[in-house]
Structure 1
Amino acid sequence: MTSRFKEPSLFDDLDDLGERPEPPETDAVAKKKTARKKAGRKTTRKAAKAPRKTGKKTPNARIAAAVSKAPRKERKRADAESMASRQREISVSEFFTKNRHLLGFDSPLKALLTAVKEAVDNSLDACEEGGILPEITVELSQTENNRYRMVVEDNGPGVVRDQVAKIFGKLLYGSKFHKLSQSRGQQGIGISAAGMYGQLTTGKPVRILTRTGPRRKAHLFELGIDTAKNRPDIHKDEDADWDKKSGTRVEIEMEARYQKGQRSVDMYLKQTAIANPHLTLHYIDPGGEKVTYEASTKSLPPETIEIKPHPHGIELGRLIAMLKETSCRSLSGFLQEEFSRVGPKVAKEVIKSAGKGLSDKSYPSRIAREEASALHKAINETKISSPSTECIAPIGEDLIVAGLKKEITADFYVSSTRPAAVYRGNPFQIEVGIAYGKPGGVGLELTDAGRIAKRKKKPDPKTAHEDLVADADEPIRVLRFANRVPLLYQQSACAITKAVIQTNWRSYGLTQPRGALPVAPMAILVHIASVWVPFTSESKEAIASYPEIFKELKLGLQDCGRKLGTYIRKGKRLQREFEKRNYIEKYIPHIGIALQEILDLTNPQRDKTVETLEDVLHRSRKF
Structure 2
Amino acid sequence: MTTEKGGATLFDEQQADGANSGGAKAEAPQGAAAPSAKADSKADKPAKADKATDGEAPRRKTAQELAERQREISVSEFFTKNRHLLGFDSPLKALLTAVKEAVDNSLDACEEAGILPEVVVEITPTGEDRFRVAVEDNGPGIVKEQIPKVFGKLLYGSKFHKLSQTRGQQGIGISAAVMYGQLTTGKSSRIVSRTGKRYPAYEAALTIDTARNKADLHDEKTLADWHREHGTRVEIEMEARYQKGLRSVDMYLKQTAIANPHVQLTYVDPGGERVVYERGTKELPPEAEEIKPHPHGVELGVLILMLKETSARTLSGFLQEEFVRVGPKVAEEICHTAKVSEKAYPSRIAREEAAALHAAIQKTKISAPPTNCISPIGEELVLQGLKKEIEADFYAAVSRPPSVYRGNPFVIEVGIAYGKPGGVGLEVTDEGRIQKRKSVTVSEELVGAADEPIRVLRFANRVPLLHQQSACAVTKAVIQTNWRSYGLQQPKGALPIGPAAVLVHIASVWVPFTSESKEALAAYEEILKEIKLGLQECGRKMGTYIKKGQRLRSEFDKRSYIEKYIPHIGLALQEILDLSDKERDGTVGTLDDCLQKSRKF
TM-score, with length taken from structure 1:
0.86
- The answer for the alignment partner of 2:393 in structure 1 is 411
| Aligned with residue 538 of structure 2, among 540, 549, 560 | 560
2:555 partner amino acid: E
- The answer for the alignment partner of 2:415 in structure 1 is 433
| Aligned with residue 156 of structure 2, among 173, 178, 181 | 173
2:209 partner amino acid: D
- What SS is found at the alignment partner of 1:307? coil
Partners of 2:136 and 2:233 within 8 A in 1: yes
Please give the residue correspondences for 1:475-494 in structure 2 after superposition, counting only pairs within 5 Å.
475-494=453-472
- The answer for the alignment partner of 1:8 in structure 2 is none
- The answer for the alignment partner of 2:301 in structure 1 is 317
Cα distance between partner residues in 2 of 1:460 and 1:565: 24
1:108 paired to 2:94 = no
Q: Point out 4+ residue stretches in structure 1 off by more than 4 angstroms.
A: 72-76
Q: Structure 1 residue 400: deviation in Å?
A: 0.7
- What SS is found at the alignment partner of 1:592? helix
Q: Structure 1 residue 594: deviation in Å?
A: 2.1
1:422 partner amino acid: V
Deviates more, 1:246-255 or 1:73-82: 73-82
- The answer for the alignment partner of 1:163 in structure 2 is 146
- The answer for the alignment partner of 1:55 in structure 2 is none
- The answer for the alignment partner of 1:495 in structure 2 is 473
Cα distance between partner residues in 2 of 1:460 and 1:79: 71
Residues matched between the structures, number: 546
Cα distance between partner residues in 2 of 1:277 and 1:235: 38
| Aligned with residue 201 of structure 1, among 184, 190, 195 | 184
1:344 partner amino acid: P
| Aligned with residue 130 of structure 2, among 135, 140, 147 | 147
- The answer for the alignment partner of 1:301 in structure 2 is 285
1:420 paired to 2:398 = no
- The answer for the alignment partner of 1:56 in structure 2 is none
Partners of 2:421 and 2:442 within 8 A in 1: no
- What SS is found at the alignment partner of 2:437? strand
Q: Structure 1 residue 602: deviation in Å?
A: 3.1
Q: Structure 1 residue 73: deviation in Å?
A: 5.8
Q: Structure 1 residue 616: deviation in Å?
A: 1.4
Cα distance between partner residues in 2 of 1:459 and 1:504: 32
Partners of 1:476 and 1:521 within 8 A in 2: yes
Q: Structure 1 residue 212: deviation in Å?
A: 0.7
2:463 partner amino acid: V
- The answer for the alignment partner of 1:87 in structure 2 is 70
| Aligned with residue 585 of structure 1, among 538, 554, 563 | 563
- Cα deviation, 1:499-525, whole Å, max 9, x if unaligned, reads 101111111111111111111011100
Please give the residue correspondences for 1:589-608 in structure 2 after superposition, counting only pairs within 5 Å.
589-608=567-586
- Structure 2 residues not aligned, in runs of 5+: 1-49, 53-57
2:141 partner amino acid: G
- Cα deviation, 1:383-426, whole Å, max 9, x if unaligned, reads 00000111111111111111111111111000111111111110
Partners of 2:119 and 2:265 within 8 A in 1: yes
1:512 paired to 2:496 = no
| Aligned with residue 515 of structure 2, among 537, 540, 543 | 537
- What SS is found at the alignment partner of 1:102? helix
1:389 paired to 2:366 = no
Q: Structure 1 residue 550: deviation in Å?
A: 0.8
- The answer for the alignment partner of 1:455 in structure 2 is 437
Cα distance between partner residues in 1 of 2:583 and 2:436: 29
Q: Structure 1 residue 331: deviation in Å?
A: 1.0
Q: Structure 1 residue 382: deviation in Å?
A: 0.5
Cα distance between partner residues in 2 of 1:607 and 1:285: 61
- The answer for the alignment partner of 1:46 in structure 2 is none
- The answer for the alignment partner of 1:361 in structure 2 is 343
Q: Structure 1 residue 285: deviation in Å?
A: 0.4
Partners of 1:409 and 1:459 within 8 A in 2: no
Cα distance between partner residues in 1 of 2:219 and 2:528: 49
Cα distance between partner residues in 2 of 1:386 and 1:76: 60
Q: Structure 1 residue 229: deviation in Å?
A: 0.6
Partners of 2:448 and 2:500 within 8 A in 1: yes
Cα distance between partner residues in 1 of 2:51 and 2:68: 25
Partners of 1:417 and 1:431 within 8 A in 2: yes
| Aligned with residue 263 of structure 1, among 230, 242, 247 | 247
| Aligned with residue 242 of structure 1, among 219, 222, 226 | 226
Cα distance between partner residues in 2 of 1:575 and 1:439: 17
Give % identity. Answer: 73
Partners of 1:114 and 1:194 within 8 A in 2: yes
- The answer for the alignment partner of 1:231 in structure 2 is 214
- The answer for the alignment partner of 2:265 in structure 1 is 281
Partners of 1:296 and 1:406 within 8 A in 2: yes
1:416 partner amino acid: V
- The answer for the alignment partner of 1:402 in structure 2 is 384
- The answer for the alignment partner of 1:182 in structure 2 is 165
Q: Structure 1 residue 620: deviation in Å?
A: 2.7
Partners of 1:441 and 1:456 within 8 A in 2: no
Q: Structure 1 residue 94: deviation in Å?
A: 0.2
- What SS is found at the alignment partner of 1:456? coil
Partners of 2:422 and 2:442 within 8 A in 1: no
Cα distance between partner residues in 1 of 2:363 and 2:92: 49
Q: Structure 1 residue 439: deviation in Å?
A: 2.4
Q: Structure 1 residue 136: deviation in Å?
A: 0.5
1:337 paired to 2:342 = no
Determine which structure has more spread, i.e. the larger CA radius of gyration.
1
- Cα deviation, 1:96-128, whole Å, max 9, x if unaligned, reads 000000000011000000000000000000011
Cα distance between partner residues in 2 of 1:622 and 1:452: 9
- The answer for the alignment partner of 1:614 in structure 2 is 592
- Cα deviation, 1:332-360, whole Å, max 9, x if unaligned, reads 111111000001111111111110xx222
Q: Structure 1 residue 274: deviation in Å?
A: 0.5
Report the RMSD for the aligned CA atoms in angstroms: 1.2
- The answer for the alignment partner of 2:200 in structure 1 is 217
Cα distance between partner residues in 2 of 1:559 and 1:552: 11
Cα distance between partner residues in 1 of 2:399 and 2:431: 35
